[in-house]
Amino acid sequence: MLTIIGTMKKKIIFILNPISGTVSKAGIPKLIEERLDKETFDYDIAETEYAGHATELAKKAAEKGVDIVVAIGGDGTVNEVGRALINTETAMAILPCGSGNGLARHLRLPMNLKKCIDIINMCDIHSLDYGIINQHPFFCTCGMGFDAFISMKFANAGKRGPITYVQQVLEEGVKYVPETYEIEDEDGIQHYKAFLVSAANASQYGNNAYIAPQASMSDGLLDIIIMEPFDIIDAPQVAIELFNKTLDKNLKIKTFKAKHLHIHRKQAGLIHFDGDPVISDADVDISIVPKGIHILVNPNGDRGDRQPNILQTAFSEIFFNIDLMKQDFIKQSRKVQAINKNLLRKLNI
């Protein structure tokens, strides 16, 4: 008697955060039903009900041997799911619905959810690196200084989206006071006065803002970015390079790679991991865990340049206006100086 053994279906669960980002999630269950390959997958959908719930759901899925857990939401939801799947055999996939979608963009996933489900059907899974900052796992970036401060402001702003982020950057950037950091890596100890210190496992914050253009999730190294203090005159150039993938060439930016970093600052304060702000100790440890998480990637990822998105356009317009204001300010200053000189000459007569 000949027995034919069929291929077992993979188990996949979609974890949906109904309130993350700026995209409505109402039609996603129907889209999954219509688009997912039922011959390959048996699937379930679970909705999160509170902060941290995605971690609980993903952890239970991994314990049950589910093959893939899909994070439906933004970088916060991705982090919650990912932290439950590190060092397990369960892989993570992403349907990007957040306001930044940093990890999804780094992985070259399309922002179109239909196309993303098609990529899930391809089921191309890679073992990739993740980072840890003071016991908090992260997958894109972590850091302290201005970006952690803005993460806190953005989290408390109520409204989400790129325009809110731009507003926070502009309102707070001119007031922010840089800190001094003692940074120790494999090569020794250095002291820096810095606007921000970031460690990047992936290349961008989100919205195609590339804080670490050369970062790789498979090299076993973190890209360390130290941004020295700059004034508003330098801001347009910094913004342009952030979106043109050339920030690492800026003279105000110090970059190097490291497996482990110890940072000491004068007092406890904010740090962020994947944009999630928390208060942490004055001493901060950051390290990389090579090949510690399985992630479903886009096998046909486009390596070319992307078209500018709304955040890039907003920044370009804003900094263009700042540049015009700067030029006008310089002209007015020269006029004032000329008037003052003329007045002084008359007073001396």
Look at residue 7 in the predicted model and tell me its pLDDT: 63
* Residues above pLDDT 70, as percent of the chain: 69
> Looking at the predicted structure, is the pLDDT value of residue 11 above 70?
yes
Instruction: Tell me the per-residue pLDDT of 35-62, one tens digit each, with 9 for 90 and over.
Output: 999 999 999 999 999 989 999 999 999 9
Look at residue 253 in the predicted model and tell me its pLDDT: 83
Among 78-87, 235-244, 328-337, the least confident range: 328-337
pTM: 0.78
What does 287-344 look like in DSSP terms, one character per residue?
A: EEEEEEEEEE--TT---SPPPP-HHHHHHHHHHHHHHHHHHHHHHHHHHHHHHHHHHH
Dmax (CA) of the chain: 120
Which of 78-92, 134-148, 204-218, 268-282 holds the top average pLDDT?
78-92
> Looking at the predicted structure, is the pLDDT value of residue 303 above 50?
no
Look at residue 308 in the predicted model and tell me its pLDDT: 43
Please provide the average confidence, as pLDDT, over all residues in the chain. 80
Which of 70-74, 310-314, 327-331 holds the top average pLDDT?
70-74
* CA–CA distance, 41 with 62 (Å, rounded to integer): 16
> Would you call 169 helix, strand, or coil by DSSP?
helix
Among 17-26, 210-219, 274-283, the least confident range: 17-26
Among 2-16, 143-157, 267-281, the least confident range: 143-157
Count Cβ atoms below 10 Å from residue 180 Cβ, excluding itself.
11
Look at residue 35 in the predicted model and tell me its pLDDT: 96
Look at residue 263 in the predicted model and tell me its pLDDT: 96
Q: Which amino acid is at 249?
A: K
Look at residue 311 in the predicted model and tell me its pLDDT: 43
Place of tokens 């059907």: 121
Range 194-221 average pLDDT: 89
Look at residue 145 in the predicted model and tell me its pLDDT: 87
Instruction: Tell me the per-residue pLDDT of 105-144, one tens digit each, with 9 for 90 and over.
Output: 999 999 999 999 999 999 999 999 999 999 999 999 999 9
Confidence band of 177 (pLDDT split at 50, 70, 90): confident
**C-beta of residue 72 within 8 angstroms of C-beta of residue 83:** no
Domains defined along the chain, listed by start: 10-123 (3.40.50.10330), 136-291 (2.60.200.40)
Look at residue 164 in the predicted model and tell me its pLDDT: 45
The H or E element spanning position 92 is strand 91-96
> Looking at the predicted structure, is the pLDDT value of residue 172 above 90?
no
**Which long-range contacts (C-beta less than 8 Å, at least 24 apart) are formed by 171-180?**
172/146, 173/146, 173/232, 173/235, 174/232, 176/146, 176/149, 178/145, 178/146, 178/228, 178/229, 179/144, 179/145, 179/265, 179/266, 179/269, 180/265, 180/266
